[in-house]
Structure 1
Amino acid sequence: MKAIVLNRSLDQKIEIAEIEKPHLGPSEVLVKVKAAALNHRDEWCRQGLYPGLQDGITLGSDGAGTVEKTGEMVDASVVGREVLINPAMNWGGDPKAQSKEFKILGMPDHGTLAAFVKVNTDRLHDKPKGFTWEEAAALPLGGLTAYRALMTQGKVQSGEKVLVTGFGGGVAQFAAQFAIAAGASVYVSSSSAEKLEVAKGIGALGVYNYTDDTWVKKSLEETGGFDLIIDSAMGDTLNNLIKVVKPGGRIVFYGATKGNPAMLDARKIFWNQIQLIGSTMGTDRDFEQMLDFVQKQNIKPIVDQIYQPEQAVAAFDRMKAGKQLGKIVISFEGSD
C-alpha cells in the first residue's frame, strides 16, 4: 500500500513508499483512509526534533475513513462504518495528566498518512454528520488539544475575555471557534494580516499583530486585559502575555515552539495571582465531549489546502513555513 514514511537518509527526510498492509490484532480494525491531516509533530519528526524516531514509520496522527476489516474479537458489523480516529493512546486512569505509557498515533506506531491504518477499535468514532472527509480528518488532534486547553484546563466561562495567540494554526483556529461558541469575547494574535482578517470573519472582536511593538499597549487599552490566554509559543513572548492577562487570570500553554523564556517575570506572576497551566492532547472523555460540542455548535474545521500523497513534500514545506490557515490535508481517495 502507499504510505508517507520517514526516511532520514533522503534530503527531504520523507518519501512515498509501498509498504505491506497492516496485520490486525484481535481487537484492532483496518481503516481505509480517505483523508489525513498534518500536525506540527509530523514536521518535527521530519526535522529530527521528536523522540524515538524510526525510519520507515508512516507519519500522521489525524485521519478519517471507512472500516475495511476487523480483528477476530471485533464485531464484523462495523465494516463499512465511516469513522474518524482518536490518535491519543494509553492516557491512563488519571484525568489530570497522561500516564508514562501515553503515545500518539504516527510515531512510533504507523500513522494515518497511508492508504490504510490499523487502530484499536476503541479509537474509532463516528464521522460527524455533514463533515467532508477532509473536515473529519482535520478535527481529531487539533480539536482535542484545543478543547482540553480551553475547557478542561482553562475552564472558560461565558463573558470572559479570551486571547488566542498564533491564530492560523490548527489548534488555535479551533480554540478561537470553541471560545466564541462558549460565549467568550475572543481576541486573537498573528503576524499575518490575512489570518487576522479571517479571525474577524469568524467572530473575533479584536486582532493584534504580535510583531507590532505596540500590541501590548493597544490590547490593554481596548480590553483592560484578558481573563484567559491560550498559547503555544512561550519563549520570550511569555512576558508579554503576563503583562496582558488580568490579575487572577489564566495562561494555558499547549506547546513551546519558541522554547523556554530567557527571563521570567516571576514577581508579576505571584503578585497578580496569575496561573500558568500546561496542557496537551486530552483524555478519551475530553475527546467525546469535544465531538459532542463541535456537532451541537455546528463548528467546522478550517481546511487550508488539500494535497495528493505525491505532493507530500510541498504539504510539509507549507507547514514548516507557517503559511497555513487551518489544517493541511492529504487526500487518499483512490489510493491503495
Structure 2
Amino acid sequence: METDMKNAGINRRTVVLAAAGIGIAGATQAQVSKGSHVVKIIVGFPAGQATDIVARLLADKLPAVTGGNYIVDNKPGQGGSLAMGALAKSPADGSVMMLTHMSAVATNPHMYKSVPYDSLKDFEPVGLLGDLPFVLVCHPSMPFNNIEQLVRYAKDNPGKLTNASSGNGTVSHLAMEDFKARAGIDILHVPYKGSGPGLTDVVAGQVSLALETAAAVQPFIQSGRVKALGAGTTKRLSTLPNVPTIAEQGFKDFSAVTWLMLLYPAATDKKFVAGTFAALNKAMQTTEVDARMRQIGAIPRFSTSPAEAAAFVRSEYAHWGEAVKRSGVRLD
C-alpha cells in the first residue's frame, strides 16, 4: 500500500450500514438487519466521472455486507460544493452519505467567496477509499506529442490553446494552473460540471486539452480519441505504462492526484460511523474490488479509523488553504 501511495505522488499528509433499524455491534463488526432499506450516496459530479464510477462500485458491493439498497444521487456543480451543501442539510440518521473528493472538502471553502457548509464542523468522516491520479490529454490533431512540444507550441501561440476542467477549484483546475505557471504558458481555462462534458469537447476538437483522472481518460486514450501527454504521478501508472509522467518530462515534483472519502452529516451517531467504517472495509478490501479500482485508474487507500480520517481532513484543509492562498485564485 505504501508503494501505491508513493506511485500516486502522495507525500502527505466509504456504502454504509443501511438506514433505519440497523444495530451496531461495535467498531469492528456490524450487525445488520436484512431488509430493503435505501441509502442515498451523493456524488458531486455527473454520471461517468471517476468519483461516480467508484460510488457505483460501492453501491454494488455494500449490499452483501449490510443488506441495504444503495442509490447514487448525482448533484454536480461548484466543483462538488453544491453536493456537500446538500449533505450538510441531510438527516443524520444514516440514510444519506456522500462520496466526496479533496477539492470539495479542502480547496473550495478557501477559493469560493461562499460555500454552503463548514468542512470541519458539518460532517462526520468515515474513511478514505482511494486516490485518483490525473493524466494530461489532448485532441489527436494537436501538433504536439509530449510536454516539451506542448510548452514550445503554447509559447509560440499564446492564448490559442484551451484546457477543460471538472469545474472551478477542482484538482483538474488548480493542478493545471500550477503546470501553466511553472511552464510560463498562456492557455485559456474552460470549466465544466464534471470531467465527462469537458472530455466530450476535447474529443470533438472544441477544446485543446484536459487534465483529468486516469479513470475518465483511459477509454479515450485506448480508443485513440485523445493523446496522452503525461501523468500527474511520480511514477508511471501500471494501467498506462507507456505514458511518461509530467515530472519526468522536466517538471520535477509536479503532482496531480486527488483522494476520495465517505462522509456522513454531522451529529451522526459515533457507533453508527464506526459500524459503517467496518462495513466499508469488509466490502471494499477484497482482491476483486482492488483489481477493479486499479482497472478504472484508481489506487485503493483506506483510513485506519474514522478518527484518523477526521484528522486527515483537518490536515488537508489547512494544507490546501495555504496552497489556494499562494495561487491567488478567488471565485464568486
Say yes or no: TM over 0.5: no
Choose between structure 1 and 2 for higher RCO, CA contacts under 8 A separated by at least 6 residues: 2
What TM-score does the superposition give when structure 2 sets the normalisation length? 0.32
* Structure 1 or 2: more strand by fraction: 1
TM-score, normalised by the number of residues in structure 1? 0.32
